[in-house]
Amino acid sequence: MAEATRLRTDKDFQVPANRYGDDVEAVLIPEDELQDRIRAMADKVSEQYKDAEEDLILVCVLKGAVYFLTDFARALSIPSQVEFMAVSSYGNSTTSSGVVRIMKDLDKEISGRDVLVVEDIIDSGLTLSWLLKNLKGRQPKSLNVITLLRKPEVQSAQIDLFDVGFDIPNEFVIGYGLDYAERYRDLPYIGTLHPRVYSGEEPVPSREEGPDAVEI
């Protein structure tokens, strides 16, 4: 399973000019490091499934993981197919409402197939834990998880991860698919959001998504 990675705490406050002005406080993981790490993750997955009889099914959790999925899938040296699951979003709050819903399920059966869940970020991991139980009930041949980012300080659910891109502090991050109020997804790096943008909200938000009307 995934090895522990060094906690990424260094910030670059020299933020490149961008369409969001000074909303971005700092760059936590620059674009070139993201892409290098994604290629390494793709190589590891390709090696794991190189002898598989059927294409690997990549399950992308919308919306945040789309950018990661796209670059990751293109970096694979093995065939893959893509499926999407959409779960309840944040709305305009930086904190979880405690109620989460599946908004879109998979379009195909995964029974007997090798499945890899592609996540953008793991906070507590409670929703992902539920999601994995749901997918295991569909009897895939194998089920693994990769995540681009993980917050080990707040992860409470025990989840076996095949690979982790970066461990990061418990801060609200944006860019490369991650948003606040549907903005900032299109930044090419992982950055931190200036606290004034979400003033009045909880200072350290959580991204939790999951099943039909289940309170966590």
Instruction: Report, as residue numbers or ranges, the catalytic residues.
Output: 123
DSSP string for residues in the chain: -PPP--B----B--PPP-TTTT-EEEEEE-HHHHHHHHHHHHHHHHHHTTT-SSPEEEEEEETTTHHHHHHHHHH-SS-EEEEEEEE---TT-SS--SEE-EEE--SS--TTSEEEEEEEEESS-HHHHHHHHHHHTT--SEEEEEEEEE-TTT--S----SEEEEE--SS-EEBTTB-BTTBSTT-SSEEEE-GGGGTTS-SS------STTEE-
